[in-house]
Amino acid sequence: MKRTLLYLALICGAMAASVATAQTDPALYKALGENAGITSLTVDFVARLKADTRFGDMFKKTNSQNLSDRLAEQFCVLSGGSCKYTGADMKSAHSSLDITKGNFNALVEDLQAAMDAKNIPFSAQNQLLAKLAPMHRDIITQ
Ligand code: HEM
């Protein structure tokens, strides 16, 4: 009985340690450059969105600092960093914007260009994009 309890304690400890490791040492989060890398990526990404004429006025009134901060939180969570996303859910954030598939693809292109500019490895770029792709269901409404 004592032995069983000891094993249980050891297994729980190992599980807790592996969860802690997963949150603090994830490969994708590291490949994106951790908090500093992700923040500089989203600042550049938002600047590209604002400058991209394909979006017309869509980002004209957008507060760049807020969008960049929310995106940084989101990318951090998605890549396995220990952050918290504090923004609106994707459906509510985009429901009134009439976003098309073309808009979505253009945004992905700008994100790829921003990741290239930061020399983020291609495999990490693809991993992040794969995590973002399913969000199209909540974002594209046209
Ligand atoms: C995977 C794709 C996308 C992600 C992860 C994403 C993420 C976000 C996030 C985190 C916010 C901030 C929400 C908040 O402030 O609480 C936001 C807002 C916004 N998004 Fe997206 N978005 C995506 C696609 C798009 C597309 C395709 C467009 C249109 C071209 C778009 C246009 C906007 C606009 C206009 C805002 C509001 C900015 C403001 O004025 O505050 N998003 N998005």
18 in a structural domain: no
Determine the Cα–Cα distance for residues 114 and 41; give it in Å rounded to an integer: 6
When pLDDT is cut at 50, 70 and 90, the band that residue 19 belongs to is: very low
Domain that residue 105 falls in? 24-139
11, part of any domain: no
| Residue 57, Cβ density class (10 Å: 0-12 exposed, 13-18 middle, ≥19 buried) | exposed
Closest by Cα among 36, 93, 96 to 67: 93
7 domain residue, yes or no: no
Ligand 1, atom 21, residue with closest C-alpha: 94
- Tens of pLDDT, residues 42-84: 999 999 999 999 999 999 999 999 999 999 999 999 999 999 9
Ligand 1 centroid from CA 99, angstroms? 10
Q: Is the pTM of this model over 0.85?
A: yes
Q: How many domains does the chain have?
A: 1
Q: pLDDT at position 25, please?
A: 60
Cβ atoms of residues 115 and 41 within 8 Å:
yes
Nearest to 90 by CA among 66, 115, 110, 70: 70
- Summarize pLDDT for 102-133 with one digit per residue, the tens: 999 999 999 999 999 999 999 999 999 999 99
Residue 103 is part of a domain; what is its CATH number? 1.10.490.10
Ligand 1 neighbours, Cβ below 6 Å, are 55, 58-59, 61-63, 66-67, 70-71, 74, 87-88, 93-94, 97, 99, 103-104, 107, 132, 135, 139
Is 61 contained in some domain?
Answer: yes
For residue 10, is it within any domain? no
Looking at the domain assignment, is residue 14 inside a domain?
no
Residue 13 in this model has a pLDDT that exceeds 60: no
